[in-house]
Amino acid sequence: MENGKRTLLGMTLGEMKDAVAELGMPGFTAKQIAKWIYESHVKDIDEMTNISKTNRQRLKEAFTVGAMEPLDCQRSVDGTVKYLFPTASGKFVETVFIPDKDRATLCVSSQVGCKMNCLFCQTGKQGFEGNLTAADILNQIYALPEADRLTNVVFMGQGEPMDNLDNVLRATEALTAEWGYAWSPKRITVSSVGVKNKLKRFLDESECHVAISMHSPIHEQRRQLMPAEGQMTIHDVVELLKQYDFSHQRRISFEYIVFGGVNDSMLHAREIVKLVSGLECRVNLIRFHTIPNVDLHGADDQKMEALRDYLTAHGVFTTIRASRGQDIFAACGLLSTAKKNHETE
């Protein structure tokens, strides 16, 4: 909400119909507004030229589009761009644009900070500062300078999407609905550490791809790395996933950051194979880049390749994700942490 005004960005068509009815405007105006927002991506109500001046004025008195430009950016030599976006509540979140040949992926945030407190994550060190609204989430796409180049969006930035599930579902609805961006849900991947009840609800209510942060197949070790294991174990997550069909277009993947001397052994490889047996999935091995005050380091290429080769040989489709933007960020949370610290100095 800006100056007491509600934002149009993030509203469903039904909510827009209610809004125009409140203002005494014709019902068809809602579809016009939705088209201007989600198809034309206007930044100002005055740009909605097929709505009468009188009705535009009424809209402006109660609403704002809600688009907010990025405050800062860092550009990598490989073309990756990290943006810092403001939120409606006056905080900051990071968004990463990753171009790759004919693909362009945007990594969006769902929260300011995070409650999960994973050992290896800079965002968790910030603590939790609040959920993003659907408008805050969508603004990372809406106000992105490269928005017209996007082929995919991944909810893998700051925060745990399942911990802000209502707003994540609202945002993905706007991205996939006919009245919204009208994207295929196969262009969107939502990540999770695994949150009891919330993950099931997401699987039931959304058709988007799902990525689970595994990082260890062994309960006690994963709990040390990821406190959320104490609430929903990786075995619980896999058992839940086995109730759904991932053999067609919808995909399930597991994210696995490889830490040198920690989770990179053949024991881990064998346990991963056992864990995901019978589940149509892929495993993405990810290089770790050190963050301040955390005693973990990345595994060497030989270990990464040995893990990949073992998993692949045992029927688990596995890739080593290429590192991108290493010269501008080592982990989510560094740019927003710096901005936050500057604001409080």
Task: Note if 107 is an active site residue.
Answer: no
> Are the C-beta atoms of 234 and 275 separated by less than 8 Å?
yes
Q: Which of 94, 129, 173, 271 is catalytic?
A: 94
- Phi and psi at residue 7, in whole multiples of 5°? -95, 140
CA distance 196 to 237: 8
Do residues 55 and 68 touch, judged by C-beta distance below 8 A? no
Tokens representing 227 are 């406190």
Length of the chain: 345
| Active-site position among 2, 47, 332, 345 | 332
Residue in the structure block whose two tokens are 């125009």: 20
Q: Is 163 left (phi over 0), alpha (psi -120 to 50) or beta?
A: alpha
Residue with the two structure tokens 């005050």: 293
**H or E, element range at 146:** none
Clarify whether 94 is annotated catalytic.
yes
As to burial, measured by CB atoms within 10 angstroms (0-12 exposed, 13-18 middle, 19+ buried), residue 343 is exposed
**Active site members:** 94, 332
